[in-house]
């Protein structure tokens, strides 16, 4: 047997690459070579096309331009030194654009927009915007609140406030003195100024709230003026306007002028008026007559109760609405008609809000929609179709005989936007009856959303608005 050398044995047992592996290896090497030369790999899957929106680009460009203009005005930045760092499309959680003011309420709705970052003088500035090129735009601080203080240099603000304060205070002292003369009959030379103090009242009540009134929750600058007459001290709370609100405040923190008008009977801080309750009962009965068609003399009052509602919904919130979180005094009025018990929630104002509340604690708005008979509904519809046609003639220059009515439909819109909300606008969250009118001209269809008032709101709603609805 011939002798086999070690070299041949090594060669004989060396593993061989399969044809498939050789092909794969060659392709890999080719791919790497092409990548190194910045040439597209013919073996890689084609890139997905990227949609380009000219309108979006123009909107963003305009918003960036406005942000730069704002930065020049608020921070004194040089427009030539202001550069764009980044932009990002965002869906803000509400209409505050992710930068809420602590003392404001915002509509809870997804709000598309942009997050724009600018740089100037080594500092970065964040801007939050909506999707409207001319809409809301706010510079947002690191703590997530509007940079409103940057609108004027602090030195200028302090100086201006001091000048206004110096001008306003003497006039406010003079007015407080005149008020005390009328209230006590004292002579002006018997009244002395004990002290004056600049204040920031927590709301427009100036720290001296009258029971049963609501006040805007906003910081209100003003003064505390203390006068003395005949051994007694008198506190006056004012705003910063020399001719604005001024009130003498008691030790209990309520206006002194309100004391003589208080009835002898009260429940807590709620001062109820029997005349107001009578009027509210009449309004509840009228509402029930319209809603159910019941006879007025067939409606009886089961009970009335003084109530402190926990917020301005009067204990009967609409699920899609926002309410001021303030104690709201009012009444619970229970009526009966044809064996049915009906609940009405009210405030203490005889002309104020009044709502029929269902067993599940929501407004019984749907019953109000069914009141008007069909005969009455037909008349406004004809006029609304006529108005929609006139609007379309102006918008498209079509002749009236070129416009046809495709369909009309009775609707219950979920709020006062009529199912066609404008971005960044707040609407009353209440069932709003109306119509959807569809017209056609030139092969195109146009949708009009209306209320039931023949001369009331009417809006042509585009496809984008329809999708939001």
- Does residue 417 share a domain with residue 449? yes
Asked if 127 and 139 touch (Cβ cutoff 8 Å), the reply is yes
Measured distance CA(115)–CA(64) in Å, rounded:
10
Same domain, 62 and 85: yes
Tally of domains within the chain: 4
Question: Domain end: 122, 137, 154, which one?
Answer: 154
Q: Is residue 110 part of a domain?
A: yes
Give 417 or 378, the one with higher predicted confidence. 417
Range with the poorest average pLDDT among 89-103, 253-267, 305-319, 399-413:
253-267
By percentage, how much of the chain surpasses pLDDT 90? 30
Q: Inform me whether the pLDDT recorded for 115 exceeds 60.
A: yes
Bridge partners, residue 225, by sequence: 196, 236
Same domain for 94 and 71 = yes
Global pTM? 0.28
CB atoms < 10 A from the CB of 285, how many? 20
Residues 251 and 168 in one domain: yes
Task: Decide which of 339, 369, 399 is a domain's last residue.
Answer: 369
166 shares a domain with 146: no
- Would you give the DSSP letter of residue 86? E
- Residue 267 located in a structural domain: no
Q: Which residue has the higher pLDDT, 157 or 254?
A: 254
Is 70 exceeded by the pLDDT of residue 270? Answer: no
Range among 11-15, 256-260, 442-446 rated most confident: 442-446
- Asked if 217 and 305 sit in the same domain, the reply is no
50/423: higher pLDDT: 423
Give the domain extent around 196: 162-256
Lowest-pLDDT range, 20-29, 108-117, 427-436? 20-29
Q: Which residues pair with 246 in a beta bridge?
A: 238
Co-location of 345 and 381 in the same domain:
no
Same domain, 344 and 392: no
Each as own residue / partner, the long-range contacts of residues 111-117 (CB below 8 Å, 24 or more positions apart, any chain) are 111/423, 111/424, 112/423, 113/89, 114/60, 114/63, 114/87, 114/88, 114/89, 114/90, 115/87, 115/88, 115/90, 116/63, 116/64, 116/67, 116/84, 116/86, 116/87, 117/84, 117/85, 117/86, 117/87
**CB-side exposure of 175: number of CA atoms within 13 Å?**
19
- The answer to whether residue 175 is domain-embedded is yes
For residue 436, is pLDDT > 90?
yes
Same domain, 177 and 249: yes
Q: Pick from 369, 386, 410: which residue ends a domain?
A: 369
In a domain, 17, yes or no: no
pLDDT of residue 30: 52
Domain contains 308: yes
Residues 435 and 399 both lie in one domain: yes
Q: Alpha-carbon distance 147 to 70, whole Å?
A: 11
- Say if residue 413's pLDDT is above 90: no
| Claim to verify: residue 105 and residue 180 sit in the same structural domain | no
């Amino acid at each position: 047997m011939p002798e086999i050398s070690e070299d041949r044995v090594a060669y004989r047992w060396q593993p061989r690459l399969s044809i498939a592996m050789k092909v794969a290896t060659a392709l890999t090497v080719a791919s790497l070579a092409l990548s190194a030369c910045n040439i597209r790999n013919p073996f890689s899957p084609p890139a997905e096309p990227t949609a380009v929106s000219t309108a979006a680009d123009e909107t963003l460009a305009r918003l960036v331009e406005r942000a730069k203009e704002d930065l020049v005005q608020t921070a004194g930045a040089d427009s030539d030194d202001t550069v764009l760092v980044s932009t990002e499309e965002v869906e803000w959680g509400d209409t505050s654009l992710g930068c809420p003011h602590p003392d404001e309420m915002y509509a809870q709705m997804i709000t598309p927009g942009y997050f724009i970052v600018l740089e100037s003088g080594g500092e970065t500035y964040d801007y939050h915007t909506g999707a409207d090129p001319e809409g809301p735009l706010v510079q947002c601080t690191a703590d997530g609140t509007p940079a409103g203080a940057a609108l004027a240099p602090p030195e200028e603000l302090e100086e201006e406030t001091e000048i206004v304060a110096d001008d306003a205070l003497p006039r406010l002292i003079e007015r407080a003195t005149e008020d005390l003369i009328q209230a006590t009959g004292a002579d002006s030379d018997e009244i002395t100024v004990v002290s004056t103090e600049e204040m920031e009242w927590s709301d427009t009540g100036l720290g001296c709230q009258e029971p049963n009134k609501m006040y805007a929750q906003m910081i209100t600058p003003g003064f505390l003026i203390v006068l003395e007459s005949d051994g007694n001290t008198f506190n006056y709370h004012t705003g910063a306007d020399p001719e604005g609100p001024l009130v003498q405040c008691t030790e209990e923190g309520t206006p002194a002028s309100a004391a003589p008008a208080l009835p002898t009977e009260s429940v807590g801080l709620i001062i109820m008026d029997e005349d107001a309750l009578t009027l509210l009962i009449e309004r509840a009965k009228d509402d029930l007559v319209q809603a159910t068609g019941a006879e007025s003399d067939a409606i009886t009052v089961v009970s009335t109760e003084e109530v402190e509602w926990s917020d301005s919904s009067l204990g009967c919130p609409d699920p899609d609405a926002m309410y001021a979180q303030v104690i709201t005094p009012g009444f619970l009025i229970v009526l009966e008609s044809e064996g049915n018990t009906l609940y009405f929630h009210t405030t203490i104002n005889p002309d104020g809000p009044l709502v029929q509340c269902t067993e599940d604690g929501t407004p019984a708005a749907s019953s109000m929609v069914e009141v008007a008979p069909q005969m009455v509904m037909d008349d406004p519809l004809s006029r609304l179709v006529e108005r929609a046609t006139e609007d379309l003639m102006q918008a498209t220059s079509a002749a009236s005989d070129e416009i046809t009515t495709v369909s009309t439909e009775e609707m219950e819109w979920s709020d006062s936007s009529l199912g066609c909300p404008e971005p960044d606008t707040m609407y009353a969250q209440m069932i709003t009856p109306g119509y959807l009118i569809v017209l056609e001209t030139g092969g195109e269809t146009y949708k009009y959303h209306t209320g039931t008032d023949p001369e009331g709101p009417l809006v042509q709603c585009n496809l984008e608005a329809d999708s939001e609805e």
